[in-house]
Amino acid sequence: MLERPKRKNPVLRTRLPTLPPAARSRVALGLTAAAALGRFELQQCRDCGDVQYPPREACQSCLSTKLRWKNQSGKGELLAETTLHHSNDLFFRERLPWRLGYVKLDSGPTVVAHLHASIKQAPEKVIVRAMLDRAGQAVIVALPEKENASMANDRQLREFTCDPKFRKILVTDGKTATGQALVKSLVKAGADLIWVGHSEPWKKFPGFDELQRLSQVTLLPLDLTDSKNVREAVAEIGGKVDIVVNTAEYHRGFGIGNRAGVETARAEMDVNYFGLLRLAQELGPAMRFRGADGQSGAVAWVNILSIYALANFPPHGTFSASKAAAHSLAQCLRAEMRPAGVRVVNMFPGPVDDEWNQLLPPPKITPAALANAVIKALQDGVEDVYPGDVAQEWLARWRDNPKALEKELSS
């Protein structure tokens, strides 16, 4: 049973974060790339059909090098299990006891998996998934065949996820439709405390009263275009934030030719790119420092980017450019947060059904659906999310041929 974490003793020294072993061969990164999207993929031989594990350069049965990554059901049977009471690895030594088991997959290979507590003993049917560990690498986790309501509370599983339950969360802008939907979803998901940023504290905004009525919500003056304000806000709450969701966004239509001057483009960059940079410079170190606070440690940083970060959508051309810049910066942030085990989650929605996309025809993703996708990403522990039909379709086209997508979007 998961309990609310105890208050931290402020006199105690904070432990340095440790990470699980992170070295992988280049070919094994295929497993990690799929896990980052929440998929479990293994290599399958094109010549003999054999499914491979661990990842390798040539087929273990016929030595063919024609191996391709294919989605797996993860169904299998636990053959044997053990509980570690000792480990030479620092990360696991701090987390003992730890359960592991051998799982024979229905598709062939046998894998070593981390075991969910509700798996009793071998033999038992299980479902395995590839999940990212605190070092950002894929590991295999075995879950009970039937999902249960309290499944996410498992101590070992929470080492791989960033579940908002009992956590303290900063939503950087509560004024946007997405920000407001997100606060409601976080309350439903069991967040302990939510700071909701708003950039003009003297002004009420639509939805303000409703947010203020939620007992978990504390409103926080926060303007990501103001370095001094960001520094002051982080000085106040930085040492307590477990998860940050950056919803602050400036969005106007138009590309290059149909607007004079650079003021709008500069305002977009100032929030969407420099806003992220200012926040990362101030809050990043505070969260890195708290990566080792165990169950009450900092765990995740979520950026609401856009599918336009992958390929420019000329009717929203300067907005696309600001999101592409933010995407690149978010990759830098991910690398810098990794040593502390803090996961950077990037969301790439298609057009959101808000006031700035009024002129776009449907389909659009609703703010509520986007908010739920953020919660699910945290609960599943994934890194990159393309929520909604439009984002999924564009992602598929972009993976197939980035140039073709550029052409399609510009015609």
Q: Find the binding residues for Zn ion in span 220-249 (CB under 5 A).
A: none
Tell me: does residue 59 bind Zn ion (CB under 5 A): yes
Minimum distance of Zn ion from residue 64's CB (angstroms): 4
Minimum distance of Zn ion from residue 140's CB (angstroms): 22
The token pair at 341 is 């085990």
**Given the rule CB under 5 A, which of 55-63, 139-147, 246-254, 384-392 is the region that contacts Zn ion?**
55-63
CA–CA gap between residue 66 and residue 58 (Å, rounded): 7
Closest to Zn ion by CB, 14 vs 60, is: 60
**Given the rule CB under 5 A, which of 44-52, 214-222, 323-331, 354-362 is the region that contacts Zn ion?**
44-52
3-state secondary structure of 120: coil
CA–CA gap between residue 301 and residue 246 (Å, rounded): 8
Among 4, 16, 48, 117, binds Zn ion (CB under 5 A): 48
DSSP 8-state class, residue 316: G
Calculate the dihedral angle through the C-alpha atoms of 104, 110, 114, 120, rounding to the nearest 10 degrees.
20
Cβ proximity of 345 and 382 under 8 Å: yes
Burial of 26 (0-12, 13-18, 19+ CB in 10 A): exposed
Tell me: does residue 62 bind Zn ion (CB under 5 A): yes
Tell me: does residue 19 bind Zn ion (CB under 5 A): no
Angle, CA 196 vertex, CA 191 and CA 201 arms, to 5°: 160
Tell me: does residue 83 bind Zn ion (CB under 5 A): no
CA–CA gap between residue 244 and residue 195 (Å, rounded): 9
Tell me: does residue 279 bind Zn ion (CB under 5 A): no
Minimum distance of Zn ion from residue 108's CB (angstroms): 11
For 105, phi and psi rounded to 5 degrees? -75, 145
Q: In angstroms, how far is CA 303 from the centroid of its own chain?
A: 8
Tell me: does residue 50 bind Zn ion (CB under 5 A): yes
The token pair at 338 is 């990794």
The token pair at 238 is 């930085």
Among 45, 162, 182, 271, binds Zn ion (CB under 5 A): 45
Tell me: does residue 107 bind Zn ion (CB under 5 A): no
Tell me: does residue 183 bind Zn ion (CB under 5 A): no
Minimum distance of Zn ion from residue 58's CB (angstroms): 8
Report how far apart, in Å, the C-alpha atoms of 317 and of each of 232, 253, 259, 312 are: 33, 8, 11, 6
- In this structure, is the dihedral angle defined by the CA atoms of residues 162, 26, 405 and 248, taken in order, positive or negative? positive
**Given the rule CB under 5 A, which of 38-46, 69-77, 147-155, 343-351 is the region that contacts Zn ion?**
38-46
DSSP 8-state class, residue 174: S
Tell me: does residue 67 bind Zn ion (CB under 5 A): no
Minimum distance of Zn ion from residue 109's CB (angstroms): 13
Tell me: does residue 79 bind Zn ion (CB under 5 A): no
Tell me: does residue 256 bind Zn ion (CB under 5 A): no
Closest to Zn ion by CB, 52 vs 172, is: 52
Query: Where are any strands of DSSP class E within 146-305?
Result: 168-171, 193-198, 217-221, 243-246, 300-304
Count the site residues for Zn ion by CB under 5 A.
Answer: 8
Closest to Zn ion by CB, 72 vs 246, is: 72
Closest to Zn ion by CB, 62 vs 262, is: 62
Positions in the binding site for Zn ion (CB under 5 A) = 45, 47-48, 50, 59, 61-62, 64
